[in-house]
Each structure stands twice: as C-alpha cells, then as structure tokens.
Amino acid sequence: MSATLAEMATEVLNTADGRAKCALSRAHAAAWFATRAGKGEPIAVGQAAPPSHPARPDRPELLSPRDVPRRRPGSPAGRIALLHAVAHIELNAVDLHWDIIARFGHVPMPIGFYDDWVKCADEESKHFGLVCDCLEAMGSHYGALPAHAGMWRAAEDTADDLMGRLAVVPMVLEARGLDVTPGMIEIFRKAGAAGAVAALEVIYAEEVAHVAYGSKWFHFLCGRVDCDPKEVFHDLVRRYFHGPLKPPFNEEKRAEAGLPPDFYWPLAEGQQSPGG
C-alpha cells in the first residue's frame, strides 16, 4: 500500500455512494490497523488536498431544515423518516472523521490521534450500514426521503481551526447524539422494532468514545499552548456553533466522555453569556 492515510481519507471523501463510501472506509480502517499491529509496511499519515465538500449521492435530495417535512414518530412512516435522518447523520459523520485526518495533516499530532479518528470513521461506517439495513427491512432505503442540507456547515466553518473542529464536531454535535439517542431507542422499543433498537443501541454505546476522543485531543491541544480548556471551549463554540446548546443533557454519558457540566451548561439555551 503506497497511499498515505491522508490520501486514503480523501479517497473516502471523494466517493459518492453511501454503501461504497462506507465499504472503502472500513477497508482503509482495516488496512491502517493491520499496519499499526505490525503487519506489512507502515502507512504514513502524510498530507492531502481533501475536497471542500465530500461527494454525495444524487439521492437523498438535500433541503433546508425548514423544508424537511416534520417527523411524527407515532406512525411507521414517521419512524422510517427518523431512521432516514439518522442514516444521513451517520454518513456525514463518516466524512467528518476522515476530513479531520485529511485536513489537518499540517498540525503535528501523536499517532494515537489518527488511530482514534480512523476507529470513529470505521464505526460510523458500520452505523450507516446498520441503519440502512433497518430502512431496507422496513421497505425503504437511504435516499428515499429528503434530508437536511447544511450538515457540512460545521466542517466548513472550522476548516482552518483544529481546536474549533474538535469543540464543535465531537464535543457539541456528537455529544448531542448522546442526549437524544435514548429517547429514540424508546420510540422504536414501544413500536416493537427490535432491529432498529439493536442498531441504535450499538450506536449509543460507541458514540460515547467519539465524544471522549474529542475531549481528549481538545485538552491535549490546550495543554500544548497552556490555555484553560473550558474558556477556550466556550469561545470556540460561540464563534463556530450557531445557536445555544439544547438541554436536557445526558450528564452521565457526557461525564463518561470527559465533558464536565461547566463546559456545556454556560452555553445552554436560557443561560446568559458572561457579561452579556
């Protein structure tokens, strides 16, 4: 294998079809971890020129959030729409994790940084497949419904700022997943949808580590420049994230992921910003 990890990441970003993107993502992750375990030639991290936007399939149609029809999870169609939205989030997450590898190759980081994001990308690829399997078992598929445009906004906003990327993507967006997933699992449990419950339970269990990796490397970078992580986090989220954070928060899982309450509560809806 002569490609660098950054080139492998870019190749995933440039693959449009969801299933194909995830298959390539999983193959590249397996190759990375095989060489990390001492099998074959080591893969250099390297640098690459990732696209400003990842390639995406023709379907789903991407709409502004206000134009996406509202979901009513009480009906089978509503539950399909909810899973379709989760599939869209997972596919976006695959790209986000490869993008952090490809885009910030100029920032020297320990090898464990790459191990963590390759593992996350591999898990998101698995999550996308699990949710697609559920959709197909329910007679639908990814692409059958419109999905949110603008999912890539956080990546664009933080394309030049690794600490901003860590603050907004794993520590805000993926942490939000920890808040809302238990309620989703309940919806499918009440509907007797065992397959969806099983898929969401895998996602819920694995997402804690994604938030934790964000917190770990955010603290690492703060330590490198000797600044207060909590203050920097508040500054970066206010700069790059549009709007307040929405309680209720899953304080237990956030704590497990290394996110203490004084990180997120001051940014919550209804809280006054210091001095404001």
Q: Using CB under 5 A, list all residues that contact Fe ion.
A: 90, 93, 124, 127, 174, 207, 210
> Tokens 């994790």 correspond to what residue?
97
**Own/partner pairs for 160-165, CB < 8 Å, 24+ apart?**
161/236, 161/240, 162/100, 162/104, 162/107, 162/221, 163/218, 163/221, 163/222, 163/232, 163/236, 164/236, 164/239, 164/240, 165/100, 165/103, 165/104
Please state the closest distance from residue 181 (CB atom) to Fe ion, in A: 10
4 vs 24 by CB, closer to Fe ion:
24
The amino acid sitting at 126 is K
Please state the closest distance from residue 95 (CB atom) to Fe ion, in A: 12
Please state the closest distance from residue 200 (CB atom) to Fe ion, in A: 10
93 vs 135 by CB, closer to Fe ion:
93
Please state the closest distance from residue 272 (CB atom) to Fe ion, in A: 31
Task: Count the neighbouring beta carbons within 10 Å of the beta carbon of residue 64.
Answer: 10
125 vs 140 by CB, closer to Fe ion:
125
11 vs 90 by CB, closer to Fe ion:
90
Q: Which residue is nearest to Fe ion, using beta carbons?
A: 210
